[in-house]
Structure 1
């Protein structure tokens, strides 16, 4: 094999929002270049000693602590305390906020390049309004989500720095794509407990790093294809977070980029999954387009795809049929997913499809029958599946409960529908995802017809308080 300078992957997802001003806005706390090149400052930044960074910013550049506090969203007394050498900053969210406010390049902190470092407009990070963290019996799960949100990114900088250190001279070894894929798999676990509003910046940064690496990397053709496959996988994860955060244009663009990268990599399974994501985007606006794209996804992955991948793609095809109101086609696609899942294989499933299991298929089956207004089929399967579903997966469980609640309304069991809806509202409180409340909105609207029932009135009041 000869060496290969990988052709740049064009990223044509451009922001259409007036809020994308980070590239042109220069904060008053931006550190002068000369100060950034000072050895004491470089040492403080590398050590993540932000107290020393703040002290040097004031003494050498005349930037007041109050101004730093305002730009970094830190209490002024906290800035002073840090500058005196007491305490530290460890959360990814706060570290990136400081980097942006002081204009510290991402490479100096072990981060991917920041949005303002690029010459093209950067995609807006979805601003999720903070919701009150309740303690109504679900405090442990909410605290767990908050813990993950504030600590999960803390190790990202060091991890990526260590991973990229061997890339001297931009020569990429054959083992590097697998190491990068393993890192991508680890970061995917954040999606188990956090919404897209919290994970989008992380996933997008990983995607941007790999894309930048590909532009200048020299490697064998085999390694180049493997890198493109990882890029496709990362684009799908970032696209999913964008979708979960309500940024559908961004999600669509990332899915399209993922499909192109997967095709260039010769990864049929990932190419099929990119199409399945696109179908999910299309189905609500154009049923026929959604079905066609979901069908194409199954055909693209083909019969040689792993059982889990085929099960996943047929599940999504079943959903497209269900949204379109096609009963028999939905049943056939669900049967195909079940048949695939029942197969055994010596090959491990790709991590991005490994979450598909029998319980996931039960949930999708229940969702489909709920969508088709068949409550007698939907309720038993959803009840069974959700008893085995951990509350830690709060976003997903609240979503699945919404279909159960909807089925109870359809069946005329409004008290039970109200109880399930209340449970879903509790679970999704504080989750940085637009989808649970959006899914619950039509359920609450239907329950509104029964507000004379005490249980219904209570849950409508709860929903209003959390709006």
Structure 2
């Protein structure tokens, strides 16, 4: 275990807090240091020790009497407080997750660096992760190994839907390291294509778990790795899938122009390289979300219509990538409802989302909680306060079984929308349940 004096990763709620994001962007270290104390319990004396600064200097920065402009000091603050470099306009720091592959086509990838720090004692019991099992067995690379790796990815996605990805992430990252080592050992062998594809999916899944936790900087890092891995084998459809994930993240970061650009690039990539109707339907819906974020009604409606046109072209003969099979009729319906809901078109959105929830698999806890939030939102928009609070309470109950900061963030957002009704009994009851569950 790391020593107490070693810097640890900051809480996601701090790194994604709007005030923290803004302070880092402006390099307002007075605000950063105050936020550190308030949200992470890191006091000025600790800041001074971690960043190799004097306590008096830290005090001057906090009070606004002094500014930090020297690049070497800014880098020390980033490293000492574990603020991702990108948040402060720096290159990725050495302690952040390193690049899986350099953007080169000839040289084999290097193994992901192991975390630095004191050596941990050897455990008596081995890890039960797939990578550890295969390594311990000295398994040589065979088609069955590749099938087992692909199967484990499907299982990871299932468990991500059911429980969220926070607890899953260490296992996924460990398996990613293992696959990268296999790529290096395989060289230009017969399994190269499959291994790169598996590594790309594991990198995307890792990025998704960070996105779901609203740790956007780390999510972008892994999405970028997934793009590089897919590019190495010229899998343009999968690159489109990753771009679509990045587009969705941009909608959450309130960057609608970026979201539109990423979704458009995703469609261009897939269209030029044999994108199936289901793939194109999914990508068009991501474009609809992007336009809805900027309240572009006509463009949103056009993208929704294109998604439905593409979906109608799906046949049983299509050779679909495994990563897009989730986009079925139920997903098409609920996403259509959400896109209308983002535009404030509650009369259109509510029946669509309600219908999808009736169809949806009960084991998809995060999806059901997320979609229930949107149903409650549209019900509130239509003035049905009691019904909206009942739906939001059901979403809250489902959310308790899922580790998803994205879902809990939406439920807090719903609570804010109840402000005009704060004295109504149903609103008071929901607030009480929210506090008991999430605080």
After TM superposition, the score normalised by the length of structure 2 is 0.69
CA deviation vs aligned residue, 1:389-419 (integer Å, no higher than 9, x gap)? 2332111111111111111221111111111
* Residue 124 of structure 2 is aligned to residue 24 of structure 1: no
Which residue of structure 2 lines up, in the alignment, with residue 448 of structure 1?
A: 419
The whole-number CA distance in structure 1 between the counterparts of 2:237 and 2:144 is 21
* Residue 262 of structure 2 is aligned to residue 293 of structure 1: yes
Which residue of structure 2 lines up, in the alignment, with residue 188 of structure 1?
A: 157
Q: What residue ranges of structure 1 are gaps of 5+ in the alignment?
A: 15-19, 37-44, 49-107, 112-155
- The offset of 1:386, in angstroms, is 0.7
The whole-number CA distance in structure 1 between the counterparts of 2:303 and 2:147 is 33
* Residue 191 of structure 2 is aligned to residue 223 of structure 1: yes
- The offset of 1:255, in angstroms, is 0.5
The whole-number CA distance in structure 1 between the counterparts of 2:214 and 2:169 is 11
Which residue of structure 1 lines up, in the alignment, with residue 167 of structure 2?
A: 198
Which deviates more from structure 2 when the two are superposed, residues 211-220 or residues 243-252?
211-220
Higher relative contact order structure (alpha carbons within 8 Å, sequence separation ≥ 6): 1
Q: Cα 1:158–1:261, aligned 2, differ >3 Å: closer, same or farther?
A: closer
CA deviation vs aligned residue, 1:106-140 (integer Å, no higher than 9, x gap)? xx5464xxxxxxxxxxxxxxxxxxxxxxxxxxxxx
CA deviation vs aligned residue, 1:56-100 (integer Å, no higher than 9, x gap)? xxxxxxxxxxxxxxxxxxxxxxxxxxxxxxxxxxxxxxxxxxxxx
The whole-number CA distance in structure 2 between the counterparts of 1:352 and 1:314 is 16
- The offset of 1:212, in angstroms, is 2.0
* Residue 294 of structure 2 is aligned to residue 324 of structure 1: yes
1:207 to 161, 164, 176: 176
Q: Cα 1:302–1:449, aligned 2, differ >3 Å: closer, same or farther?
A: same
1:247 to 201, 206, 215: 215
The whole-number CA distance in structure 2 between the counterparts of 1:174 and 1:302 is 30
The whole-number CA distance in structure 1 between the counterparts of 2:128 and 2:408 is 36
Aligned residues: 331
Q: Cα 1:110–1:412, aligned 2, differ >3 Å: closer, same or farther?
A: closer
Q: Is the 8 A contact 2:162 2:365 kept in 1?
A: yes
Secondary structure, in 3 states, of the residue corresponding to 1:257? helix
1:429 to 376, 381, 400: 400
Q: Cα 1:256–1:361, aligned 2, differ >3 Å: closer, same or farther?
A: same
- The offset of 1:213, in angstroms, is 1.7
Correspondences of 1:217-366 after superposition (within 5 Å): 217-220=186-189, 223-283=191-251, 284-302=253-271, 304-342=274-312, 343-366=314-337
- The offset of 1:6, in angstroms, is 6.8
* Residue 346 of structure 2 is aligned to residue 378 of structure 1: no
Secondary structure, in 3 states, of the residue corresponding to 1:198? coil
The whole-number CA distance in structure 2 between the counterparts of 1:308 and 1:252 is 25
The whole-number CA distance in structure 2 between the counterparts of 1:447 and 1:458 is 11
The whole-number CA distance in structure 2 between the counterparts of 1:179 and 1:306 is 26
Q: Is the 8 A contact 2:369 2:395 kept in 1?
A: yes
Q: Cα 1:430–1:188, aligned 2, differ >3 Å: closer, same or farther?
A: closer
Q: Is the 8 A contact 1:315 1:337 kept in 2?
A: yes
* Residue 7 of structure 2 is aligned to residue 7 of structure 1: no
The whole-number CA distance in structure 2 between the counterparts of 1:159 and 1:461 is 46
Q: Cα 1:272–1:256, aligned 2, differ >3 Å: closer, same or farther?
A: same
* Residue 401 of structure 2 is aligned to residue 457 of structure 1: no
Q: Is the 8 A contact 2:346 2:378 kept in 1?
A: yes
The whole-number CA distance in structure 1 between the counterparts of 2:402 and 2:327 is 23
Q: What residue ranges of structure 2 are gaps of 5+ in the alignment?
A: 1-104
Which deviates more from structure 2 when the two are superposed, residues 305-314 or residues 260-269?
305-314
- The offset of 1:226, in angstroms, is 2.6
Q: Is the 8 A contact 1:418 1:447 kept in 2?
A: no
